[in-house]
Structure 1
Amino acid sequence: MKPLLLFGQLTLITGLPAAAQQAPTKVKIKTKAAAPSATPAPTDWARTYAATILPDELRQNLTVVASDAFQGREAGQPGQKLAAEFLVKQFAALGLQGPVTGGDSPYLQHFPLTRGTPAPGGYVQVNGQRYEWLNDFFSYGPMPSPFLVPTAAQPVFVGFGVEQGPYSDYAGLDVTGKDVVALMGAPQDERGRQLLKPYGRKADYWESGLRKAALAKAKGARSIFLVTFAPTAAFRQEGQQFGASLSELAFSLPDPGPAIVDTVSESIPPGIGVYLTSQELGLQLAGATMPELLGYVQALGQAAGQSVRPAFRAPSATFYLPQAQEQLTTENVLGFLEGSDKKDEVLVISAHYDHLGVKHDTIYNGADDDGSGTVAVLQLAKAFAQAKKEGHGPRRSILFITMTAEEEGLFGSEYYTAHPVLPLAQTIADLNIDMVGRTDRKHSPKKHFVCIVGSDKLSSDLHRINEAANRDYTHLELDYRFNIPGEPEHIYYRSDHYNFARRKIPVIFYTTGEHADYHKATDDVEKIEFDKLAERAQLVFHTAWELANREQRIVVDSNKP
């Protein structure tokens, strides 16, 4: 712990020396000023309470959270329920309030999940021809099927599936509950020249099929079929290659709340089926021949940056993607610390406590992912609760949330932000902690660092506050490599903070990135560096302290994709 800094003002006091003696004759006596004395400086309470975040206590809690008794904490399974009970007891023991009303526990926010296991026999039938699953189409990844029985549908062709400024492939179309067909790639003319300006700093922004899927979801579509132009043989080879991963369990959130426009996502958006099709099937679903499709693209090039409606029309089709589905219930765990004079404004501090569960009789304990973030949240809650108990509590309220079902698709934060216990309009920021207990492959074991993601994307205040907290207190190396535009691992989109960010709530994601044991059964407690975990949690504390106590709420003054 670094020494307490004192910022008092010195006051000079003058007077006679105690031992001054008078000469026998009348003479002028010079006196010396007394040594100045210092008025005690105010205590730096942030430093005081940050120092209560201790490696030994982090280790003690993580030894429980990442134990075999919790069976890997898979969402909806018995081990996750046991972990939730442990977290409830911890929050209650700290004196935090349970803010959830109308349930069996004020600390638990229950919500439903659907778990699906794919079954063979899926197909699309159009124009009297049947196209088989994995031969002619496959999904972007494991996902619940919206077509559990043969389903007659009227697909809607939406061009490139893009909306930017005055250009909208959805203009005049209602696709609510429908199945859209979109071309991969960005709008271009017959010479291949891009018709839209770069979005932000990304010239290839709309090349992403996932962004098209996110826009289709926001428009209310049930599914999106993305037409590729790979040769049939190459497409089928790719489908067979991905077949194993597509047979994994798939989860969905039956009640995701109101759709929001979110076209910056680079993760599979929950609540919509996302499929790639072969060129042959794609043309059939669009209702076009290749010459007709090229004519449509040529018309786009002549439309001066406006979308056009094609002359062809998608025919009716039948979709069938069978799955065995199971309904589950899982829980976010919430602890609330009420603030003082600014208590109506709320800071969220979050981490996800779920992990991968048990696979092939092997327990995946997830000590770093995200046991480390979970126990950091507990220690932060303890520090702020102690501050309040001793008369130094935060001005703003703080909501500590340990999320569930992050591993299945950020569902815990998706549910909370769609069904907030406290108003999102009064939520000033989310500080999210996910995997902060290890050193990744890019750093020396001697380095004391943390990766900062998203701090500048919505609020310049938040970015400055976090950097100042580190400069004044923790002195870690702040690594921004996951924060750059076009970052290939898409880390910004892969943890619970993102569901706050896409609702325009400023976020910081604290992480140390992936390591050799990421999503493996070897992610165990003995590999956690608890001294570094404590330092990183202290940085979160200092940033949270400033956010909770500053006079003005931080601004939202940026919108970086």
Structure 2
Amino acid sequence: MKHHLIYVYALVAALSAGCASSSNTSSTATATAPVTDAARLREKASDYAATVTAADLSKHLHILASDEYEGRDTGSKGQKMAAEYIAREFKEDGLAGPVKEGSNPYYQQFELEQTQWGEGYISINNQKFLMGQDFFVLGSSPYQTEQTAEIVFAGYGIDDAKYSDYANLDVTGKMVVVLAGEPKGSNGNMLISGTNKASDWGNDYRTKRNAATKRGAKSVLIVTGTTADEFTNLTGRYRHAADRASLGLKRATEASAAAFFISPQVGAALLGTTPTKMTDYAKAVAKAGKPTPGTFSTVKNVKVKTERLNTPVPTENVLGFIEGTDKKEEIIVVTAHYDHVGKDTTLTGDQIFNGANDDGSGTVAVIELAEAFALAKKDGFGPRRSILFMTVTAEEKGLLGSEYYSENPVFPLANTVANINIDMIGRMDYTYEKTSDSNYIYVIGSDKLSSELHQINEEANKQHVNLKLDYTFNDENDPNRFYYRSDHYNFAKHGIPIIFYFNGVHDDYHKVTDSVDKIIFESAEKVARLAFHVTWELANRENRIVVDSNKK
């Protein structure tokens, strides 16, 4: 944007021969107090929106989505390079760095934790069962080194007012073996609900884990399936995850019991019985219609080790701040995520996932909006409310950068008026590719918390850019659930109105082919300008928008 503006302003200066006009956006236009009149500011919006151009978006994206940045994977060299580039742009454009902690006021620095399972086994009478093959563990591990375990059988692991497997059992500090699911009566209905529908005891393993935790257990082992093949089929999703390192926010050590999913062979070995006799136990409960003590002889010689390896991964959100004028305590937050998925050295040929659209396109839009608002402030038309421009990290790892900000906000969430989130705005999805129509954008969440925000977006689009606003993915019944899948959600869950701009999914999504040459910069320009106008209105209107809804 900078080179473009220098040319424009030089031309204006030459033509006007030093004369000032009311529409001139030159930085010499005013030396008086900042304008705070909403109507006057509204008149100026288009002047600054026009500085957001396809050419400038392209300039930034050709850098950030180049091979040099290696796909911007969280914690990687490429992500650090991108953070430096964005922070430098914010600083050169005149935005302040609002972060008081750390060495760089433009960085909100924090540590993620990369975790991976190491050695894991359960040794039963010297027969070793292996983690990742015979059992899986979810969550933390209290068995970092080999420990002797005391086994207790607790039926289905239910501890309910109507049905409790824990009556007369002391499980403190012990390893509790339970069956998966929940018991049925002789009529085929669930004993808990009295209907054919399972309760949380059967649907969510965490319910059993929480019950074991309350009783003081060290771990709960859920026997999954009745045969080895059934266990393999039921635990397929865990098998893939067990071999992969995961990244998450660094938390205090979990106080809950560890949850193991074990094969029927492991369960039978722990209980000194056979898988068939465990099935017979389930039949006995169905016949009795109530909790039934097990007659199994739990083994004594059990040793357990489930090693979890933790590695810190430093990363940073990048923040640029424009302080408002008469309403500066209220904050508008504009976001995009600048991380992507990095590179895959096992691939033949191209190994770098450049992430031009996801979310290089949103990132460069935020850079351009920041520069436009900074220029307006320099000219005396700065926003009445403050604006935080934030490119977040680790979105691809589970919205972690925005989650960290929402839990450690630089500015109080109570003062945060709205979040404008821009994630993928430079391509067409499958639906619009059929007609080669790029003049659209999916709008998600604008009416979930504030009807005013929805109306502001509609009016801004009608007056300034004329995109087709598609609300397909705003439907609470949409199976894609995009409302929960980008950084805005970490604001929405705190009751802050949000709007999410998104072009939908295309063939190059999360592939090495998401490259700059496929970006439709004219479309990205229109969406970025729409985001600019919505932000301008939110920042300068007389009254803060009202939260008047709570849709899902």
TM-score, scaled relative to structure 2 = 0.72
Q: 2:537 aligns with which of 506, 528, 546?
A: 546
Give the drift of 1:222: 10
Match for residue 254 of structure 1? 250
- Aligned pairs for 1:459-538 within 5 A: 459-538=450-529
Pick closer, same or farther for the CA change 1:205–1:536 going to 2, 3 Å.
farther
For residues 340-381 of structure 1, the C-alpha deviation after alignment (integer angstroms, 9 at most, x for no partner) is 111111111111111122221722211111111110111111
Gap change, CA 1:296 and 1:98, over 3 Å in 2: farther
Letter in 1 for 2:481: H
Alpha-carbon distance between aligned partners in 1 of 2:529 and 2:122, rounded to the nearest angstrom: 54
Match status 1:82 vs 2:81 = yes
CA deviation after TM superposition for structure 1 residue 66, in Å: 0.8
Matched with 2:423 is 434
Moved more, 225-234 or 457-466: 225-234
Structure 2 residue aligned with 1:450, among 428, 435, 441? 441
AA at the equivalent of 1:247? D
1:224-254 Cα deviation digits (max 9, x unpaired): 8777557541221454676455422211221
Distance in 1, matches of 2:174 and 2:321, equals 41
Q: Following the alignment from structure 1 to structure 2, what is the Cα–Cα distance between the partners of residues 86 and 432? A: 20
Q: Distance in 2 between matches of 1:373 and 1:530?
A: 12
Q: Which residue of 1 aligns with 2:311?
A: 326
Deviation at 1:532, TM superposition (A): 0.8
Paired position in structure 2 for 1:236: 232
What is the DSSP-based 3-state SS (H/G/I as helix, E as strand, rest coil) of the residue aligned with 1:357? coil
Query: In terms of mean alpha carbon deviation, does 523-532 or 250-259 score higher?
Result: 250-259
| Alignment of 1:359 onto 2:347 | no
Pair 426,118 (structure 1): closer, same or farther in 2 beyond 3 Å? same
Q: Which residue of 2 aligns with 1:557?
A: 548
Distance 1:161 1:237 in 2: 24
Amino acid at match of 2:378: K
Q: Is the 8 A contact 2:427 2:438 kept in 1?
A: no
Q: Which residue pairs with 1:341 in the alignment?
A: 326
Q: Is the 8 A contact 2:192 2:199 kept in 1?
A: no
Q: What is residue 391 of structure 2 aligned with on the other side?
A: 402
> For residues 145 and 401 of structure 1, do their structure 2 counterparts lie closer, same or farther at Cα, with a shift above 3 Å needed?
farther
- CA displacement 1:403-431 (0-9 Å, x = unmatched): 11222222211211111111111112222
Asked if the contact 1:352–1:403 (Cα under 8 Å) also holds between the matched residues in 2, the reply is yes
1:552 aligned counterpart, secondary structure: coil
If each structure's helix is expressed as a fraction of its own residues, which one has the higher value? 2
Within-5 A mapping of 1:67-78: 67-78=66-77
CA distance in 1, matches of 2:531, 2:264: 49
**Residue 21 of structure 2 corresponds to which residue in structure 1?**
none
The 1:439/1:213 distance shift into structure 2, 3 A limit, reads farther
TM-aligned CA deviation for residue 207 of structure 1: 8.7
- Gap change, CA 1:291 and 1:355, over 3 Å in 2: same
Task: Note if contact 1:134-1:240 (Cα within 8 Å) is conserved in structure 2.
Answer: no
SS of the residue corresponding to residue 321 of structure 1 reads: strand
Q: Displacement of 1:109 after TM fit?
A: 1.1
**Residue aligned with 1:355, SS:** coil
| Residues 527-553 of structure 1: per-residue CA shift (max 9 Å, x gap) | 111111111112222222222222332
- Residue matched to 2:44: 45
Q: 1:324 to 1:447 in 2, by over 3 A?
A: same
3-state SS in 2 of match to 1:346: strand
Distance 1:506 1:241, change over 3 A: closer
In structure 2, what residue type is equivalent to 1:476?
L
Letter in 1 for 2:131: W
Deviations 1:287-307 (A, max 9, x none): 9966877899999x99xxxxx
Aligned match of 2:60: 61
Does structure 1 conserve the Cα–Cα contact (< 8 Å) formed by 2:183 and 2:285? no
SS of corresponding position for 1:348: strand
Deviation at 1:137, TM superposition (A): 3.6
How many positions carry a matched residue from both structures?
Answer: 490
> Which residue among 133, 136, 141 is the counterpart of 1:135?
133
- Quick one: structure 1 residues 289 and 244, their matched pair in 2 at CA, closer, same or farther if it must change by over 3 Å? closer
What code does the residue aligned with 1:525 have?
Answer: V
Q: Which residue of 2 aligns with 1:112?
A: 111
Task: Pick from 356, 368, 388 the counterpart of residue 377 of structure 2.
Answer: 388
The SS at the match of 2:534 is helix
State the distance in 2 between where 1:162 and 1:531 align.
60
Aligned AA (2:507): A
Counterpart of 2:102 in structure 1 is 103
User: Distance in 2 between the 1:407 and 1:130 partners?
Assistant: 37
Inter-CA distance 284–104: structure 2 relative to 1 (3 Å threshold): farther
Flag the 1:75–1:518 CA change in 2: closer, same or farther, 3 A: same
Q: Does 1:149 align with 2:145?
A: yes
Structure 2: gaps of 5 or more residues = 1-38, 165-170
1:554 deviates by 2.4
- Distance change (3 Å), C-alpha of 1:547 and 1:144: farther
SS at match of 1:470: helix
How far residue 160 of structure 1 moved from its aligned partner, in angstroms, is 9.4
Gaps of at least 5 residues in structure 1 are 1-40, 170-174, 197-202, 260-270, 303-308
Distance 1:134 1:432, change over 3 A: same
C-alpha displacement at 1:57, in angstroms?
Answer: 0.3
1:493-521 deviation line (CA, Å, top 9, x unaligned): 22222222222222222212221111111
State the SS of the aligned residue for 2:441: strand
Relative to 1, partners in 2 of residues 1:93 and 1:232: Cα closer, same or farther, differing over 3 Å? same
Cα distance in 1, alignment partners of residues 209 and 314 from structure 2: 25
Aligned equivalents of 1:101 and 1:407: distance in 2?
27
| DSSP-derived class of the 1:52 partner | coil
Tell whether the 8 Å contact from 1:135 to 1:240 is kept in structure 2 after alignment: no
Identify if the C-alpha distance between structure 1 residues 414 and 280 changes in structure 2 by more than 3 Å, giving closer, same or farther.
Answer: farther
What SS class does the counterpart of residue 443 from structure 1 fall into?
Answer: helix
Q: Matched residues in 2 for 1:451 and 1:73: separation?
A: 25
AA paired with 2:386?
S
Q: Find 1:122's aligned residue among 120, 123, 126.
A: 120
Provide the rounded CA distance (Å) in 1 between the counterparts of 2:175 and 2:462: 52
State the SS of the aligned residue for 2:431: coil
Of 336, 350, 360, the residue aligned with 2:335 is: 350
Which range moved further: 315-324 or 504-513? 315-324
CA distance in 1, matches of 2:406, 2:226: 39
1:34 is aligned to: none
**SS of match in other structure, 1:364:** coil
Which residue in 2 is equivalent to 1:416? 405
